[in-house]
Amino acid sequence: MSAQTPARIAFQGELGAYSHEACRTARPDMSPVPCATFEDAIDAVRRGDAELAMLPVENSTYGRVADIHSLLPQSGLHIIEEAFVRVHINLLALPGTAIADVKSAMSHTVLLGQCKSFLAGHGIKRVTGADTAGSAKDVAALGDPSMAALASELAGEIYGLDVLARHIEDQGNNTTRFLLMSPQADHTRRGAHGMITSFVFEVRNIPAALYKAMGGFATNGVNMTKLESYMVGGSFTATQFYADIEGHPEDPPVRRALEELDYFTNMIEILGVYPAHRDRN
């Protein structure tokens, strides 16, 4: 790559999506590469069409982002960083439009459900769109002042829409956590706010296997901040778990806990060892 060509970062969605906002926050010097699906964003990195991928994993209001945890182990990529984006929802419309002119608002169904009070108070009907930034793009192309979009301010800037109302979400702490994915692992760094180790594992088919597997983290004083299960291949018996713990695998307590976990599992795969973000606390 020439010195004049900026590095690229892939994300799912249209330009102006909250994932795009996460890219701008975490890597403002990189060129964004919009992709139709999470798989496409991962493949863009694997093909060399992008150096990094930004993937959402969970939202403080709606929980886990569907399919992400099952995609990560097969991605061939490594978590090198986490990012947090405060999801501010804005009412966007054609330039010169007043709120009183708006009869309907388009957005992803999740966002439509996050600002019910505002929409009901202004008598605005909800219209389901493919995604947030895509809805802003559609509203700009439609040219109808009675149709608005619910999206980020970034989407308004990109598609030439006015912000009629800012931060209209019902909950004031709605935040999405993202993971920055790279083809190369980097376990050498130490973060100012601590470290996070993310991994997946599958317990052995023995009585109380999960309870026994978790015992090593308790006895070694390792804090597990997330533990989620998901089925593999549609099988009720092949359950895997995704976990985040505080600490680095080279830390003696973490090393001992992972060694004990290994005894009770069929598989452990480290997905990433990366600095904890300051916004985590």
Whether the predicted pLDDT of 235 surpasses 70: no
The CATH number fitting domain 8-86+174-182, selected from 2.70.70.10, 3.90.950.20, 3.40.50.300, 3.40.190.10: 3.40.190.10
Q: Partners of 274 in the beta sheet?
A: 196
Across all residues in the chain, what is the average pLDDT? 92
Architecture of domain 195-280: 2-Layer Sandwich (3.30)
Whether the predicted pLDDT of 70 surpasses 60: yes
Give ranges for CATH 3.40.190.10 in the chain: 8-86+174-182, 90-165
Annotated active-site positions, please? Answer: 176, 178
pLDDT at residue 3 in the model: 55
Give ranges for CATH 3.30.70.260 in the chain: 195-280
CATH node for 90-165? 3.40.190.10
Q: Tokens at residue 267, please?
A: 């598989």
Whether the predicted pLDDT of 52 surpasses 90: yes
pLDDT at residue 105 in the model: 97
